[in-house]
Amino acid sequence: MGGDHEGGGWPMGKLFGTFGVRGVVGKEITPEFCLKMGMSFGSFLGCGKKVVIGSDTRVSGEMVKNAVVSGLMSTGVDVIDIGVAPTPVVQFATRHLGADGGVVVTASHNPPEYNGIKLLEASGMGLTRENEEKVENNYFENRFSLVGWDRVGCLSQRSVLPTYVARVKEHLDVEKIRERQPFVVVDPGNGTGSHILPQILREVGCRVMTINAQPDGFFPGRPSEPTPQNLVNLCRIVSEVGADLGVALDGDADRAVAIDENGSYVQGDRTFGLIVDHLLGQLGGGVVVTTVATSHIIDEIALRHGGRVIKTAVGDLVVSRKLVEVGGVVGGEENGGVIFPSLVLGRDGVLTAAKLVEILSVRGKSFSRVVGELPRTYQFKEKIFCPEEKKGEVMRFVSDKANSFGELVTIDGVKVLKGEWEWYIIRASGTEPIIRCFSEAKSEKRARELLEEGVSLVKSVLESL
């Protein structure tokens, strides 16, 4: 590899996004790139170390995985291949098998032409930014510690799915689920949750119907991201067949969303709220970790149970790390990814979906009733176009000006607190030329006013530059 190929399609010095590397297969994600990633990670870990690897259902999965494996082995690292598995299962296996690191070959909910690589530390959490930089430096400086023929790493296959399934079941009130026998429609979107989630739900006594539950890297059933637009079939089927609940996963099964018995999509911060309410109720309190952009219903629910909420910047990695640091019981974001640190140090869509089934069974009411009993708030969102090069300056001015509007929280973007339950947040997108504003309040009118205040603040700054 040399000359033009050196950095592949990557800008010098930066490979990793919020969690791993993602790109189009054949463009950014080439066999050379994957091989070099394997050699870079292996050189970072060192000869004699052990790595777990697993991939999602994408067509390119084996190509990417085998190149990474080859790179790892060339540095003297032993590799345990767990096959096609949800991201949370690879994270679980890394810790469970006592490995020194892990690799997830996945592009989560991206279209089928994408793939990606996530690197894990021994705990199963994603690498810290500091360690990612070390791997990046190896990559860009071609600093590889290749070993001689007699020390090349070895490759073995292991299945951890049965162990993971057993551990998920230990986290569930199986007796209550068996009593209620809820009728659940599962839509894994042809992703890695296709077999495992229906299997677990059947084994704990649910009546299960599936759609899009054949693993298929073309994602023929629906686009992989579990958005309301992509789940119209699931919504319709849930209400038509008279199911108690619908659950959908994204491609790598680290996120789950719910559809109530009327076929209505339930927002991710509300399902997260249900889980917080349930767990804190059982434990009589506890620490919850979430991001500054998540609904304050989480605070309200935690308060009811004498619990505490710690807020971080946006991103599941930050939330996971904080959970470990403070010994929190559960963490999550507004997008349907819930972290149960007692099982996996990362978002787990399989356990999230199973927990929602448990909550439904324990409460003995319809899912819409259970969701309806959560605190009510109104939320509004708007995107404002902002050229990439202006984002930094705009956000600095927004922060200065917002000072007079309320109490500021600047952990991530600019959050303006008007009162305990009234706020808005302004954040620059990491991937698109836009700035997002998001408001929340107890009344619809107030939430709209707050959104307008935030949006006009950004627009006035943009015009003044």
- Residues with active-site annotation: 108
How many chain residues interact with Mg ion (CB under 5 A)? 4
Amino acid, single-letter form, for residue 38: G
Nearer to Mg ion, 42 or 331 (CB): 331
Which stretch, 36-44, 51-59, 104-112, 130-138, contacts Mg ion (CB under 5 A)?
104-112
List of long-range contacts for 378-381, beta carbons under 8 Å, 24+ apart: 378/440, 378/441, 378/442, 378/443, 378/444, 378/446, 378/447, 378/448, 379/295, 379/438, 379/439, 379/440, 379/447, 380/438, 380/439, 380/447, 380/448, 380/450, 380/451, 381/436, 381/437, 381/438, 381/439, 381/451
Which stretch, 7-15, 71-79, 247-255, 397-405, contacts Mg ion (CB under 5 A)?
247-255
Which stretch, 45-53, 103-111, 139-147, 217-225, contacts Mg ion (CB under 5 A)?
103-111
Question: Residue number with the shortest CB distance to Mg ion?
Answer: 108
Q: What gap in Å lies between CA 39 and CA 74, rounded to an integer?
A: 7
Stretch (H or E) spanning 355: helix 349-363
Stretch (H or E) spanning 257: strand 256-259
Q: Considering the complex, what minimum distance in angstroms separates the CB of residue 290 from Mg ion? A: 18
Q: Considering the complex, what minimum distance in angstroms separates the CB of residue 253 from Mg ion? A: 7
Nearer to Mg ion, 104 or 161 (CB): 104
Q: Is 333 in the site for Mg ion (CB under 5 A)?
A: no
Stretch (H or E) spanning 312: strand 308-312
Nearer to Mg ion, 59 or 417 (CB): 59
Buried b (16+ CB within 10 A) or exposed e, 402-421: beebbeeeeebbbbbbbeeb
Please say whether the beta carbons of 342 and 81 come within 8 A: no
Place of tokens 């108690």: 244
Q: Of residues 139-158, which lie at the interface with Mg ion (CB under 5 A)? A: none
Which stretch, 130-138, 170-178, 227-235, 245-253, contacts Mg ion (CB under 5 A)?
245-253
Nearer to Mg ion, 36 or 109 (CB): 109
Helix (H, G, I), strand (E, B) or coil at 125: coil
Residue 292 DSSP class? T
Report, in angstroms and rounded to the nearest whole number, the Rg of the chain calculated over CA atoms.
22
Nearer to Mg ion, 132 or 252 (CB): 252
Q: Considering the complex, what minimum distance in angstroms separates the CB of residue 249 from Mg ion? A: 8
Q: Considering the complex, what minimum distance in angstroms separates the CB of residue 43 from Mg ion? A: 28
Nearer to Mg ion, 70 or 192 (CB): 192
Which stretch, 88-96, 172-180, 246-254, 434-442, contacts Mg ion (CB under 5 A)?
246-254
Q: Considering the complex, what minimum distance in angstroms separates the CB of residue 94 from Mg ion? A: 17
Nearer to Mg ion, 256 or 360 (CB): 256
Q: Considering the complex, what minimum distance in angstroms separates the CB of residue 252 from Mg ion? A: 4
Stretch (H or E) spanning 408: strand 407-409
Helix (H, G, I), strand (E, B) or coil at 203: helix
Q: Of residues 105-134, which lie at the interface with Mg ion (CB under 5 A)? A: 108
Q: Considering the complex, what minimum distance in angstroms separates the CB of residue 108 from Mg ion? A: 3
Q: Of residues 248-267, which lie at the interface with Mg ion (CB under 5 A)? A: 250, 252, 254
First to last CA, the chain: 45
Task: Identify which of 340, 436, 430 has the alpha carbon closest to the alpha carbon of residue 17.
Answer: 430
Contact footprint for Mg ion (CB under 5 A): 108, 250, 252, 254
